Chain A
């Protein structure tokens, strides 16, 4: 009995992590709409953001099926401290505001998108053999879409970091130095991580992090850039509800319409 409820808790926590990661990541991606470096990129990155929001929705629906509230409520009506996304994904795209003087950092977008998409690909691979069947089914579909996302961000990453262009390379390196110190938050499974692994829901943090380093290392080598991968969680573990002001601001903005009339049907 107690084991059963612990298992259910682990499933719920894992679904929340997956959903909240993709949700805030898609939101940050959508903020680039109209601001991306060129028109083709505008089309591509908003298409990716739309796919990613679709992934968040499917995880929220799995939560809805196990009685954790409606997908809309889960997406819009939870406070920052109830969210489980990794802190690096909530970080603002740059100074300024979408509507007013956005001074967004494309290098940071490329680095974060490539790093996260690669991590997500490894996680999705693992989830395809999850003992939780609904998750294994969803993972297969997500993987097919993710193939194109990963290809896209890898191209940007290699092009900019390997460009030999002084400003591009320096901005990319700055973005990498900004991303890695909090990137362990992506691999964290939170306080119920052990239970998740024991139940066969997903592989452990260390295993996934190692696969990520193995996948990213040759890409760094291909452009002749060395890195030591000093991955940390300096700002805390989002899986346990620790978050920054950036998340609160984002949630206030993205739920504005929802909050204006919670009973409306769209």
Chain B
């Protein structure tokens, strides 16, 4: 019998270097996309949650995960699985992830929608709440387009994804 060769923590450390292909200030870990990591001898399985089902970046992310983990001297096979459940929700983004989004000029999703379905977003540049929604849909599936009336900058925000009843 072989001894344990790879510690899962080492894998998580490597995953921190896998960034969102379009937002290089946020890792897939901080986006909350990694559900589980399983190490079996030299083989690693990473179970992930897609942010949006039609997101074209998923296959790029998959390749980047494989490439990152194969840098580990002992890792032999890497398998990346996208799970159907649980559903990814925007509250899975960590505090570090939110800071990374902001650094990129993207407002993090609000924690919770109000009961009437409305949500409130601050400008990532000047923190003003004096903003208008220009388009719920943005350049990618997960983002919306807004405008700050205080500093007169257009900006993007992560679209809230939460479970509806």
User: Least Cβ distance of A98 to chain B in Å?
Assistant: 21
Chain A CB within 8 A of B54 CB: yes
DSSP class of A's interface residues: helix, strand, loop or mixed?
helix
Stretch of A10-18, A66-74, A133-141, A199-207 with 4 or more beta carbons under 8 angstroms from chain B: A133-141
User: Least Cβ distance of A146 to chain B in Å?
Assistant: 9
Chain B CB within 8 A of A101 CB: no
The number of inter-chain residue pairs (CB within 8 angstroms) is 68
In B140-165, the 8 Å CB interface with A consists of 140-141, 145, 159, 161-164
Query: Which of B137, B145, B163 touches A144 (beta carbons < 8 Å)?
Result: B163
Q: A134-B84, A144-B162 are in contact. Are A152 and B137 (CB under 8 A)?
A: yes
Q: A51-B54, A54-B52, A54-B55 are in contact. Are A43 and B161 (CB under 8 A)?
A: no
Chain A CB within 8 A of B1 CB: no
0 or 1 for each of B113-155: is its CB under 8 Å from A? (1 = yes): 0000000000000000000001111111100010000000000
Query: Contact at A44–B137, with CB atoms within 8 Å?
Result: yes
User: Least Cβ distance of B148 to chain A in Å?
Assistant: 17
Interface residues on B, range: 20 to 34
Q: A138-B84, A144-B163 are in contact. Are A43 and B145 (CB under 8 A)?
A: yes
Query: Contact at A57–B53, with CB atoms within 8 Å?
Result: yes
CB-CB under 8 A from A43, the residues of chain B are 135, 137-139, 145
User: Least Cβ distance of B22 to chain A in Å?
Assistant: 14
DSSP class of B's interface residues: helix, strand, loop or mixed?
loop
Query: Which of B53, B84, B134 touches A51 (beta carbons < 8 Å)?
Result: B53
CB-CB under 8 A from A134, the residues of chain B are 84
Chain B CB within 8 A of A229 CB: no
User: Least Cβ distance of B101 to chain A in Å?
Assistant: 19
CB-CB under 8 A from A147, the residues of chain B are 164
Query: Contact at A148–B159, with CB atoms within 8 Å?
Result: yes
Q: A residues within 8 Å of B by Cβ?
A: 40, 43-44, 47-48, 50-55, 57-58, 134, 137-138, 140-145, 147-148, 151-152
Q: 4 closest Cβ contacts across the A-B interface?
A: A54-B54, A54-B53, A47-B137, A44-B137
Sample of 17 further A-B pairs with CB below 8 A, known A54-B54, A141-B88:
A43-B138, A43-B139, A44-B137, A47-B138, A50-B56, A50-B141, A51-B53, A54-B53, A137-B85, A140-B85, A140-B87, A142-B53, A144-B89, A145-B141, A145-B161, A147-B164, A148-B159
